[in-house]
Every structure is written in C-alpha cells, then in structure tokens.
Structure 1
Amino acid sequence: MRENLEGKAAIVFGGSRGIGAAIAVRLAQEGADVALTYVSSPDRAAATAKLIEAEGRTALPLHADSADADAVQAAARQAAERLGRLDIAVINAGVLALGAIEDASLADLDRSLEINLRGVFLAIQAAQKHMGAGGRIITIGSNTANRAVAGSSIYGMTKSAVGALVRSAALDLAPRGITVNNVQPGPIRTDMTREAIDWLVPRIPLGRVGEPEEVGGLVAYLARPETGYMTGASITVDGGMSL
C-alpha cells in the first residue's frame, strides 16, 4: 500500500475495536504511528496494537474514558509526547441508545450527550493543542444526522450536533491550517449491528452493510496531504440509505 502518511503521528479516540480499530490499522498501513484509546476492552486494544506493530509502526494503547475531561487531555498529551507530536486525531468513541422517545431514560440521554457530543468537543479541544499546520481532525458521526429513524431520537440528535460542531471548529482552526471533517457511516458490520443485519440489508440500496475497513479507507483519505483544502465537511458512507 502506498504510504501516504509516512512519518505522521495519529491518535484514535475509541480505537480498540470495530470501526475505530479498522481506522487505526489503516492509518498504520499508510505509514502513521498510532495511539488509540480504550475504556473497557484492554485485550482488544492490545490486539489492535499488535496489528499496528505488524505494519512496522509504533502503537500506543491508552486507557481513557471519553467522558473524563482530564483523561482525554492526558491521552492527547501522552500521545504527542510518545509519538513526538500529533498530526491526525480521529474521534470515534460513542454510545448507542435506542428506544422510542416516550421510553427514553434520563440516564441514556445524559450518557449519550456526555460521550457522543461533550466527548467529541473535549477530544477536538485536547488534540488541537498538539497540532501545527497540516493537522487533521476527523470525527465519526452517523447517517442518522441525515435521516430520521424511529427509536433513535437521542442518537440522531447527538450525531446531528456533531456536524454543527465540526463546521464551527473548522472555522476556528482554519487560520492555523488545521482541518476538521466528519464521516457519517450508515450500518457497518460491527458488534453493534450483528443482530440487526438481516433487518438492515433490505433497507440499504447497495444490498449489504458496510465493512469497518471501508470507513477506515475514507478516514485515511481525509488524513492525507492532498485533502488539505477540505474542511467543515460531513461525508456520508451508508450504501445509499440517505438518498
């Protein structure tokens, strides 16, 4: 694979499994050293780190809860210190709360806002401190920002807000040459979707769910030098569901 990111240093918040792990490995395949955060999956974080090291890159697993502001700041700082700097930050950590609005609990609402929105804000704020011109910040949103789905009022609300946050952050960081973009996946083959695949496939125009590696490829593209003129964008990858 062409090493478009040779010599770059990246951090993937929520990079131990699923989409986050695929992103971390793809960045390593393209030449980046990668730090990745995890909360409850140390074994899977270690496994992802081994895949990164198998590409000849440095891997740095870091325990950090995206709801903990101090932990997020510490993770960004440790990654920059150990890897020399930060060129790329991918913010993937998130939770999924489903249910009709009349049944939604306050706990689900608060946790979703804490991780899916506040956590993204904190990670952008933490990562940008260690970036110079050419820095890339990429958030992982959802196609529920584009389309209403019954039972996803909390999740869709938080992911819609991420798109607005990205647009404003892009303006704030543009004078420093740092870009901020948002990737909005639809159904992707992960632990989260495994039991719903049979229900999902007939609703996807391309007739299949996506693979984590397909999201990883898009993220890697946004991290490359040739995408330096794109900022504040939300790009949907959902097999045509949002059309």
Structure 2
Amino acid sequence: EKIAVITGATSGLGKELKKLYERDGYRVCVLARSCDNEELDEYKCDVSDEAQVNAAAAKIAAKYGRIDVVVCNAGAGMFGTAELAPMSEIKRIMDISYFGALYTVRACLKHMGKGGRIVIMSSISAMTVTPYHSAYCAAKAAELMLSMAMRMELKPAGIDVVCICPGEISTGFSVNKKMYTDTNERYLDRVAKAAQIAASRSGKKRMPAEKAAKKIYKKCVKGKKAVYIIGGKYKFFRGVQRLVGDTAFLGLTARFAS
C-alpha cells in the first residue's frame, strides 16, 4: 500500500484525483483547512503555514512510516491589476500556491525515499498569461519553475517530479476567485469590462473535473515527462505562442480578454 498526500482534495479536481488514487489502492491523506478527522486521514492544515504543514506530514509519517507520493493541488485565484489589487491578496495567492507547494514538498521529502513521486499542479496560465490575472499567473509560473528545478535536484536520489499544467476546468474555482475592479486614469473602464467578460465565460466550455482528473491521473502515476499540458486547445495555444512569438501572442491575448 502506497501512501499519498494530496493538498486541496476536499472539492473539485483534488477530490476527483483522491478517488482515483484510492481506486488503485493508495492510502490517501488529505491536507486542507476544512478537514479535521485524522482517523479518516483528513488533516486540518493551512498550506500557507509552514509549521502546520510540517506537523501534518510528521503525523502521517508517524502513522504509516513513510510518504510515497505528494500531489500539491491547493491554489487560489484573483482578478485585478498588478498596480491596484490589494498587496495582501497578491501575497495570499503566492502563499497558497507557490509557498504552499514548497512547504508541502519540503515537509514530505523528510519522509520520502527512492521511488517517491512529486506532482505539482500548476496551470497553462504559467505559460500563457492573461491580463488582470498577474498574481495567479506569477504563482503558477513559480510552481512550474520549482517543479523543473526539483526534478533535476531529486532525480539522482530516485525521486520523480512532474508538473501538470491544465487549462480551464469546471470546478467552481473561477466563480470563487476574488474580483478587484479598482481603476484609475490609466485603465479607465477596461478593468470593469474585462471583469464582465471573465464572468460571462466562467464555467463555459470547460472540461468537467471528473474527465480532467482521469487525464491528469495517468500523468501523475505513469508520466515520464517533466511537464504536461492538459487540454487540446491549450496545447494549440501554446503552439501558436511559440510560432508567432511572445509579443504577438500577448497582443492577441489582450484583444481576446477585452
């Protein structure tokens, strides 16, 4: 029986991944703020708090003797300009996504040996940036770079690291993200218009969480590549970006978003 630790697995994609790991015989331990039943391997933990993450990982290792797999799935999003969005909120996004992943990996590595596997759930937004989502895109880009660096660092020790970059998934994530439409003479009404467009697209033409989880799970368990983009149209977008170059692609993205 392999021991897997998954953050953010109480809903959405994380919950669906948990089901798949359990189906295949893994003992899944969940870290989340809404959890509080350690007998059922649910550990109350704010991943942005390093001490809480260390304590949870230590409890799991004490109970099962080791940790074989860690999936860093917790994350948060927000909408707003880089200039005017609350700095506290920007830091919160980075704390949950990037530092949350880093804390979780560091804590679990203390109890992981050869054959271990680390999965970082980043986003296509780490590669294809959209306006008014700078905090989220930056956090996901940081996760992507973290995963690739760790892959090189840990490979000699027999530990594999994989980064998953999904496109939009129907999980309620976008609906729940905080919206900051503060503006000034630089942005005028463009922020509000972009917010309306983002809201109108929320939930439309997105891959269902269950379907996405099945695609992602295969990469989590057996994937040999360093990075996987999930979703055909997002692979296409990435291909276009490489073909036309960053400057032209940013221009196209800005027009689409506004």
**What's the TM-score once normalised by structure 1's chain length?**
0.80
Aligned mates of 1:26, 1:174 — CA distance in 2 = 26
Report the residue type matching 1:109 in the other structure. I
Q: Does 1:238 align with 2:241?
A: no
Q: 2:52 — aligned with what?
A: 71
Distance 1:214 1:76, change over 3 A: farther
Q: 2:106 — aligned with what?
A: 125
Q: Does 1:156 align with 2:160?
A: no
Aligned mates of 2:80, 2:137 — CA distance in 1 = 12
Q: 2:8 — aligned with what?
A: 14
Post-superposition offset of 1:126: 0.9
Segments of structure 2 that go 5 or more residues without pairing to the other structure are 177-197, 237-258
Post-superposition offset of 1:160: 0.8
Q: 1:105 — aligned with what?
A: 86
Q: 2:23 — aligned with what?
A: 29
User: Secondary structure at 1:89's aligned position in 2?
Assistant: strand
Aligned partners of 1:88 and 1:223 also within 8 Å: no
Segments of structure 1 that go 5 or more residues without pairing to the other structure are 1-6, 50-57, 203-207
Post-superposition offset of 1:238: 3.3
Aligned partners of 1:138 and 1:222 also within 8 Å: no
Aligned mates of 1:223, 1:237 — CA distance in 2 = 12
Q: Does 1:214 align with 2:216?
A: no
Post-superposition offset of 1:12: 0.3
Identity of aligned residues (%): 27
The CA RMSD over aligned residues, in Å, is 2.3
Alignment size in residue pairs = 215
Post-superposition offset of 1:163: 0.8
Post-superposition offset of 1:81: 2.3
Post-superposition offset of 1:80: 2.1
Aligned partners of 2:77 and 2:174 also within 8 Å: no
Report the residue type matching 1:162 in the other structure. E
Q: 1:181 — aligned with what?
A: 162
Cα-to-partner distance string for 1:23-78 (whole Å, 9 max, x where unaligned)? 11110011101000111x34xx87xx9xxxxxxxx940000101111111111122
Post-superposition offset of 1:197: 8.0
Aligned partners of 1:26 and 1:213 also within 8 Å: no
Post-superposition offset of 1:148: 1.8
Moved over 4 A (4+): 194-198
Aligned partners of 1:9 and 1:84 also within 8 Å: no
Q: Which moved more, 1:27-36 or 1:187-196?
A: 187-196
